[in-house]
Amino acid sequence: MKYCTQCGSEYQDGVKQCADCPGSELVDAETMRQRHIPLPGEGDTRKFVRATTADDPFTAEDYARLLQVQHIPVFVRPRRAGTVDVLTTGTLEPWWEIMVGEEYLERATQLLAREKAELDATADDAARAAEEEERETEDTPPPAGTL
Ligand SMILES: [Zn+2]
């Protein structure tokens, strides 16, 4: 199938030109997606797919904000790693899914990868700083009551 890049009408592969839009291009569904042109019937039923996950709500929020700034439709969906009640096991960590409009997945993935790298770099700095601080306070006896 091919689609008109102007009106979105569907055509057989053999057709060279849209009947309604003289001079417009007919392309396949893949190309339509790459150009962010909704296919027939897809316009209003936007599908959301998971772009990445976060281990804490702050990271999730940070990711969501990053994508919003880029005008990418996004929402955060809190999840748990399993269906067992967290109170009875005490081992299950909650996590967060970053959901984006399907047609923005590729762009969102790139942006998130970059953001993640920056966050990791910051975390490394923080870890280094903490280590240095630890070395400085190594000889300090632990506060009473911790033993
Ligand atoms: Zn057309």
Per-residue pLDDT tens digits for 20-53: 888 889 999 889 888 877 777 665 456 889 999 9
Where are the CATH 3.30.70 domain residues in the chain?
Answer: 48-129
Residue range 3-26: mean pLDDT, rounded: 88
Q: What spacing in Å lies between the alpha carbon of 6 and ligand 1's midpoint?
A: 5
Instruction: Check residues 94 and 29 and name the one with the higher pLDDT.
Output: 29
- Going by pLDDT thresholds of 50, 70 and 90, the confidence category of residue 133 is confident
- List residues, by chain if needed, whose CB lies under 5 Å from ion ligand 1: 4, 6-7, 9, 18, 20-21
Q: What spacing in Å lies between the alpha carbon of 142 and ligand 1's midpoint?
A: 75
Write out pLDDT tens, residues 110-121.
Answer: 999 999 898 888
Are 26 and 6 in contact by the 8 Å Cβ rule? The answer is no
Are 75 and 121 in contact by the 8 Å Cβ rule? The answer is no
CA distance 118 to 143: 35
The least confident of 3-7, 16-20, 139-143 is: 139-143
Q: Is 26 exposed, middle or buried (0-12, 13-18, 19+ CB in 10 A)?
A: buried
**Assigned CATH class of 48-129:** alpha beta
